[in-house]
Chain A
Amino acid sequence: MRKVYLVDDSIISPLGFSTQENFQNLRKNNIGIKEVKNNDIWSAPFYGSVVDNDKLHEAWNLISNDKNGNYSKLEKMMILSVSKLISNNPSLDISRCGIVISTTKGNIGQIKEEQNDKAYLASIAKTIQGYFNLDQTPKVLSNACISGGLALAIGKRMIQAQLYDDVIVIGGDLLSEFTLSGFFSFQAVSSAPCKPFCKNRTGISLGEAAASAWLSADKKKINGEAISISGDASANDANHISGPSRTGEGLYISITKALKEANLESQQIDYITAHGTATPFNDEMEAIAFNRAGLQEVPLNSLKGYYGHTLGASALIESIIARHCLLHNVLIASVGFEELGVSQPVNVITKNETKELTRVLKTASGFGGCNVALIIEKLA
């Protein structure tokens, strides 16, 4: 089966409008979560991670070739990330790429409007197709909080099935009144920046971001060290639609199958970039699954303390950052963590570290009992 490489990527988030800027901010442990005062999202201040509208407007005006078109904030963020990917990579021909768009709620704010075509997720695919003048309509994946990681797995599978040689995975979601109010109803929103895996956590923080990643079967396209997705698997808990499995079943199965595909043992993993939403049930379930898989001593972080939970973008961004951690041989502190708050041991990274890294495990879990695991590997 042919290898699939992560060739390049681009992130648009509160921590910057390029992967480089995001990565620099993470290395400085700068966080995107702030007190947000925005009456369109919520009437009282809350903690979240939002993309500045003025900054986006400025970046859009610099890059957009269609200034009169009707683009939502999310669409602008997605198009911006893809445009940067293209401009940084002259050898990337988007017209020959398969495209998978990962989003959970898309332009959901539009359902309040009388003209609500944009509330339909496939409209985003049409918008991107139109903007980049593509023959094929991108595929849209909407699979709760694992969407961004599952979209990478699907991109990899499309390449391995020889449907395409190159795939662009685009992920994005907004911090909306719709989603925030839903998490309010679960009483799951933290009154301060979230603290994944920490005893003192008080729930999740939401965030917004968009990102894109270029997957290719062609090693010659890589500039620098080769990073591949060498294993992937997804499994359902078959247990509960909103509560994670108490035994971490689906996540454990996903990890085991991904390791098997990559032909690796758990002790060969150097770093885990976890889902880590900072809800007690999620963090506990992950700790159980990692212990069942023999991964309790592997250095682990959650980037939710930096970005908040960016839903359909989160696992994609975390995979992109994993690639850059491999390239730079650095581990980034799991910000917000003070004291272990799960019943099983996990090795949470408390300080940035320089360490030779070869293999990263990325995991994500979500509503509907879904889980995904990816092995991202530096090849000699």
Chain B
Amino acid sequence: MEKFYISDFCSLRNNKVFKNGEEIYSDVASDSIKDFAKGLYKSLDLKYPKFHKMDELCKLGFLATEVLISQLENIDQDTALVLSNRASSLDTDRKHQVSIDDRANFYPSPAVFVYTLPNIIMGEISIKNKLKSENAFFVSEQFDPEFIANYSKALLQTGKASNVICGWVDLDNDKYDVFLAFLSKKGRKELTKKELNNLYNQ
């Protein structure tokens, strides 16, 4: 059976950004996710105005992807996205709920409502990187390295994807945890449940 590899990985935690195990950005001064995301956006020198319209969950997933693939000259259009989290889009769901709580003062906004689906993160990543690829968003209590590795392998083995960006992008009550891995046919770390779990827990 063909082998696949974890070519690169990154995480965003506690206002720090790690790529392939090394700290590449830190902003302990920011006391909101919004400010942390804005600082990281500036440091990556992205010049992508759509970023400012995204909700916080999308900003985190979007920035992590930029960090993950920053060294690639180009990214194949068939690079699949297999993301997961615990809180789905509840962070923005709560904002939409506040706008409809009082029917006498009812102000739901399409700009908020569209972010009440977790797969919108993958839409944002796809638009930025022109990925016309397989997307799937799973929700579980904890990161599920076994299933994410198995499903990603199935996409690679059947040729439904040339590479896969997989991982965990969670935001709930101002706590976030983001981990992404780039899976391909090249690399030193073989794609296994154990390896993916080790890198997530680094």
CB distance from B160 to the nearest CB of A (A): 7
Residue of A nearest to B147 (CB): A139
Take A142-B118, A367-B120 as given contacts and tell me if A238 and B132 are in contact as well, using a CB distance cutoff of 8 Å. yes
Report which of B100, B132, B155 forms a contact with A249, defined as CB distance below 8 A.
B132
Report which of B114, B126, B129, B139 forms a contact with A121, defined as CB distance below 8 A.
B139
Contact assessment for B117 and A144 in the assembled complex, using a CB-CB cutoff below 8 Å? yes
Contact of B190 with A by CB under 8 A? no
CB distance from B148 to the nearest CB of A (A): 10
Contact assessment for B86 and A122 in the assembled complex, using a CB-CB cutoff below 8 Å? yes
CB distance from B175 to the nearest CB of A (A): 14
- Chain B residues with CB under 8 Å of A157's CB are 151, 154-155, 158, 160
Contact assessment for A161 and B110 in the assembled complex, using a CB-CB cutoff below 8 Å? no
- Chain B residues with CB under 8 Å of A139's CB are 138, 140, 144, 147
Contact of A45 with B by CB under 8 A? no
Size of the B side of the interface (Cβ < 8 Å), in residues, is 52
Contact of B153 with A by CB under 8 A? yes
Contact assessment for A241 and B120 in the assembled complex, using a CB-CB cutoff below 8 Å? yes
Take A139-B138, A158-B154 as given contacts and tell me if A236 and B133 are in contact as well, using a CB distance cutoff of 8 Å. yes
Contact assessment for A240 and B127 in the assembled complex, using a CB-CB cutoff below 8 Å? yes
Contact of A150 with B by CB under 8 A? yes
Contact assessment for B136 and A140 in the assembled complex, using a CB-CB cutoff below 8 Å? no
Contact of B123 with A by CB under 8 A? yes
- Chain B residues with CB under 8 Å of A125's CB are 140
- Chain B residues with CB under 8 Å of A112's CB are 97, 101
Contact assessment for A185 and B150 in the assembled complex, using a CB-CB cutoff below 8 Å? no
Contact assessment for B133 and A235 in the assembled complex, using a CB-CB cutoff below 8 Å? yes
Residue of A nearest to B124 (CB): A241
Q: How far is the CA of A106 from the CA of B117 in the complex (A)?
A: 11
Would you list which residues of chain B between 105 and 140 have a CB under 8 Å from chain A?
Answer: 106, 108-110, 113-114, 116-120, 122-124, 126-127, 129-140
With most chain A CB atoms within 10 A of its CB, the pick from B99, B119, B124, B137 is B119
Contact of B157 with A by CB under 8 A? yes
CB distance from A371 to the nearest CB of B (A): 9
Q: How far is the CA of A191 from the CA of B1 in the complex (A)?
A: 56
Contact of A111 with B by CB under 8 A? yes
Would you list which residues of chain A between 122 and 163 have a CB under 8 Å from chain B?
Answer: 122, 125-126, 137, 139-144, 150, 154, 157-158, 160-161, 163
Contact of A181 with B by CB under 8 A? yes
Report which of A126, A142, A182, A234 forms a contact with B88, defined as CB distance below 8 A.
A142
Contact of B90 with A by CB under 8 A? yes
CB distance from B65 to the nearest CB of A (A): 13
Having A111-B94, A158-B151, A163-B154, one finds 10 other A-B pairs with CB under 8 Å, namely A105-B116, A139-B140, A142-B139, A144-B117, A144-B119, A154-B151, A158-B154, A185-B108, A235-B133, A238-B131
Give A residues with C-beta under 8 Å from B: 1, 43, 104-106, 108, 111-112, 119-122, 125-126, 137, 139-144, 150, 154, 157-158, 160-161, 163, 177-178, 181-182, 184-186, 233-242, 249-250, 253, 257, 366-370
Give B residues with C-beta under 8 Å from A: 81, 86-88, 90, 93-94, 96-97, 99-101, 103, 106, 108-110, 113-114, 116-120, 122-124, 126-127, 129-141, 144, 147, 150-151, 153-155, 157-158, 160
